[in-house]
Homo-oligomer: A and B are copies of this chain.
Amino acid sequence: MSNDNSPTPFDPMAAPRYSELATFFRAPLAQSAKGIDIAVIGVPYDGSVTNRPGARHGPREIRNMSSMMRSIHHSTRRNPYEICTVADLGDVRFSEVFNVGTVITEIESFYSEIVRCGAVPLTAGGDHSITYPIFKALAVDGPIGMIQIDAHTDTWDSFQGSKFSHGAPFRRSVEDGLLDPEKTIQIGIRGAQNTTEGWDYSIDSGMRVVFMDELCEAGVDKIIGEARRIVGDGPTYISFDIDGLDPAFAPGTGTPEIGGISTLDALKLIRGLNGLNLVGADVVEVSPPFDPTGVTALTGATFMYEILCLLAEAVARGR
């Protein structure tokens, strides 16, 4: 990223972690997904939140904190950057950020190009509404499966007259045939609601809903097994809403619910998904204005790294 005429090429990983511009994981920037295995993308959009805003600032701050991520995973001793090509593709560009229709179209279009190039997208949101247009780009060959970490099912219908709030993406996705509810598991669900509509939709449509109560009772290992059973070897997406975690671990989010998953359990859960047929993933709802310690963005960046490791293995297997 700088004038460097020395024979040894600059290794951003060897530089102090606070230096240089913050790309995701200190990966190179790319103008196109051509030749890239895993495209890391920011979607700085929070126009569909029902409560506290700020997730529009998520991609910047996750990039910033992702400089703390290094390469070799301590458990697997695998280095995703040796397994595949990773690049920061920048952010989705909006021409009409107040128009949810255009926003959806432009996200879909951006991801369609990624998919066309054969790259697997790993996304930093943004609010959870962005997953719906990502699915529009990904599910071109039929509905996909999903493992969702979240406090909320996000299968509600309308909020304040909008069918595209961040509480609705998976209802919309099922309705549009993008998401296969029978191959969907939602983990970490909790918190009071004013109607049971969303919980009901998830369950009635065939999704496997794991409330926190069950997760605590059954333990993470059992839920990993359940998740693997449900998605099987079909194309699967991981959607990680940071509010699935307990606010002690991730206070900087718009609709925190206490009594959530610990990072230790969530790390175990994510690592337990290795070997699946993963076609994309996102980490959403990190809201930096509500994160004075920065720990939420750090946590978001770390889960992006952990999922990157899974995606890299999936890419490698797919060759």
Contacts and interface: CB of A to CB of B under 8 A. Distances in A.
Interface of A: 1-5, 10, 13-23, 29-33, 42, 44, 46-48, 50-54, 56-57, 59-60, 63-64, 68-75, 77, 88-100, 102, 110, 113-114, 117, 160-162, 164-165, 189-196, 199, 211-213, 216, 246-249, 251-252, 255-260, 262-264, 267-268, 289-295, 298-299, 302, 305
Q: Which of A46, A94, A248 has the most CB of B within 10 A?
A: A248
A264 to B, nearest CB: 5
B160 A96 contact: yes
A52 B252 CA distance: 15
B17 A29 contact: no
A274 to B, nearest CB: 14
Contact of A193 (B71, B114, B161, B216): B71
Contact of A2 (B73, B77, B89, B164): B89
A46 B49 CA distance: 12
A46 B59 CA distance: 20
A304 B75 CA distance: 31
B255 A263 contact: no
Count of chain copies: 6
A52 B16 CA distance: 9
Contacts of A248: 246, 248-249, 262-263, 295
A194 B16 contact: no
Given A212-B264, A247-B295, A90 B193 contact: no
Nearest to A119: B3
Nearest to A88: B21
A29 to B, nearest CB: 6
A12 to B, nearest CB: 9
Given A50-B16, A51-B18, A165-B98, A75 B194 contact: no
A246 B263 contact: yes
B15 A29 contact: no
A299 B23 CA distance: 24
Q: Which of A64, A192, A195, A252 has the most CB of B within 10 A?
A: A192
